[in-house]
Amino acid sequence: MAAKKSTATGRRAVIVGGVRTPFIRAFGSFTRLNTIDLGTKAVKGLIEKFPLPLKEIESVVWGGTMLPGGVAVNIGREIVFDAGLPMEVESFTVVRACTTSILSATIAASMIERGDADVIIAGGSDSTSNVEVRMPPTLVHKAAPVVMSAKSTPSDYLKLLGKLRKEDIVPGRPSIRERTTGELMGEAAEKMAARNEISRQAQDAFALQSHLRAAQAISSGRFAQEVIAVETPDGETVYTDNIVRGDTTLEKLAKLKPAFAQGGTLTAGNSSSLTDGGAALLLMSEEKAKALGFTPLAAFKSWSYDAVDPWDQLLIGPAISMPKALAKAGMTGDDVDLVDIHEAFAAQVLCILKALNSDAFAKERLGLDKAVMKRDPEQINIHGGSVALGHPFAATGARMILTMANELAASGKQTALLGVCAGGALSAALLLEAV
């Protein structure tokens, strides 16, 4: 293990603790909980598990990508109200696709480290079951003058009805296609798999590893320290993640049909699923944590946010962000004990590893002499990842931070490097260190 390094110059933001809701397949038990509700469950769970004087909380930095339209945009502020936090807790909401709650956490860490705040709740939630169905803008444009005017008479409304055409009232279908390229995530990952020659077998083997490790983390009680029980509006209490298949096998995975392309290699089994969930982290300045009697789990060492060409390899970004975060910390892969890469698709993780393991990639894409961090698929994601656990977009980053922070604290290991790819060809990496 690497010698202990510390960034303890000036103020340091630390992770005091965190919780997440179980991650539940979309249109299951959490269907009637929207993104605000899931965030509220997570934040309430957090302050129950890590009790502190609520007036100490200065801010809630929240993330969500599936916002309940027409209800609220700044859902963080609504979570403050619904979770019963003091009205004086300010809040804002950030969006950066699948890296959203890496961003909310590092913004909170920045606020703490520059002295703006001492105690912040950061995290994210998403309810893909409540993805908004949009009415066509033409309907809004036609209806607005009548609906918005106080002088409109019933006959104006009748006239309006006469003006509407079929295409004005057929709702748009929700889509996770890239706006620029028109590609589905899975299509982009399928293309990457073909280009990098990632086989179906390799993807299935990685997916199996993800499921078995996640199942082990659940059955061993490892996840019990971070997953809270959630009571649904239907009176059901949900205790644990429901996408993980501890009993799956390579044979079962091999039988699944390609999901995105004829003759393709991506299946429902080696891709992450639409998921509902939320995750919340309690961040403090190191001094404040000590003063309030908390033992921090981990601190923020460095991070990197990057973007690549969406027409090229949409989800390759972490292969650039992870070495950049290491460089900022003056570290190499030898200094990293734990590597956690978001699994949008097993294929995308394996493409990223292929790039990270390539000296030529380091030379031609990063201007380095050689690859700084080489890893085999077995060496990463020790407790599984999004393929097994599911992927509530804005909660995944906080879920990863939570699991890695707990792991650093429990194992005595020194550093953990997280990498997350995102829609829009974005990426993020975050380096955590033990405290």
Partner 1 sequence: MPDYLLELSKNPAARNAVKKLNLPLPLPENLKRITGPWPEQPLADLVVDVGHLPKSALAPFLAKALCSAGATVYASGSDSQFAHYQDSATAWGRIAKIVEADAKPTGYKAHALVFDVTGAQGPEDLKAMYAFYNARLRSLASSGRVLICARPFGNAKDLGAAVASRAVEGFMRSVGKEIGKKGATATLLYVDEGAEERLIPVARFFLSHASAYVSGQPVHISGAVAAPKGYSNTRSLDGKTALVTGAAQGIGRQIAIRLALEGARVICMDRPAEEKATAELARQIKGSALHLDITDKDAAKVMADHVAKHGKKLDALIHNAGVTRDKMLVNMDEQRWDMAMTINLMAVMETTDSLLPLMPTDARIVCLSSIAGIAGNPGQTNYAASKAGIIGMVKALAPSFAKKGICINAVAPGFIETRMTAAIPLTTREAGRRLCSLGQGGLPEDVAQVVTFLSTPQASGITGEAIRICGQNFIGA
Residues with a known catalytic role? 98, 391, 421
Token pair belonging to 120: 């912040």
DSSP states along 322-376? HHHHHHHTT--GGG-SEEEE--SBHHHHHHHHHHHT-HHHHHHHH--SS-S----
Residue with Cβ nearer partner 1 (207 or 319): 319
Give yes or no for a contact between 435 and 139, defined as CB atoms under 8 angstroms apart. no
Residue with tokens 């066509």: 136
Residue with tokens 């995105």: 260
Alpha carbon distance 316, 349 (integer Å): 9
Token pair belonging to 32: 């009637």
What's the min distance (Å) between Cβ of 378 and partner 1?
20
Residue with Cβ nearer partner 1 (313 or 406): 313
What's the min distance (Å) between Cβ of 363 and partner 1?
7
Q: At what angle do helices 359-366 and 318-328 cross, to 10 degrees?
A: 80
Task: Provide CB contacts within 8 A for 383, sequence distance 6+.
Answer: 213, 214, 216, 217, 222, 223, 403, 407
Residue with Cβ nearer partner 1 (43 or 362): 362
Neighbours of 47 (CB within 10 A): 18
What's the min distance (Å) between Cβ of 354 and partner 1?
7
Beta bridge partners of 434: 298
Neighbours of 110 (CB within 10 A): 15
Amino acid at 111: M
Residue with Cβ nearer partner 1 (95 or 366): 366
Handedness of CA 149, 155, 156, 158 (dihedral sign): positive
Give yes or no for a contact between 361 and 205, defined as CB atoms under 8 angstroms apart. no
What's the min distance (Å) between Cβ of 168 and partner 1?
34
DSSP states along 133-174? PBPPHHHHHHHHHHHH-TT--HHHHHHHHHH--HHHHSPBPP
Residue with Cβ nearer partner 1 (186 or 317): 317
Where helices occur in 2-53 by DSSP H, the ranges are 35-49
What's the min distance (Å) between Cβ of 364 and partner 1?
4
Residue with Cβ nearer partner 1 (356 or 395): 356
Give yes or no for a contact between 303 and 67, defined as CB atoms under 8 angstroms apart. no
Residue with Cβ nearer partner 1 (48 or 197): 197
The torsion defined by the Cα of 352, 353, 359 and 362, in degrees rounded to 10, comes to 30
Token pair belonging to 287: 């001094």
Give the footprint of partner 1 on this chain (CB under 8 A): 192, 195-197, 309, 311-313, 316, 351, 354-355, 358-361, 363-365
What's the min distance (Å) between Cβ of 316 and partner 1?
6
Neighbours of 309 (CB within 10 A): 10
Residue with Cβ nearer partner 1 (306 or 337): 306
What's the min distance (Å) between Cβ of 311 and partner 1?
7
Neighbours of 34 (CB within 10 A): 24
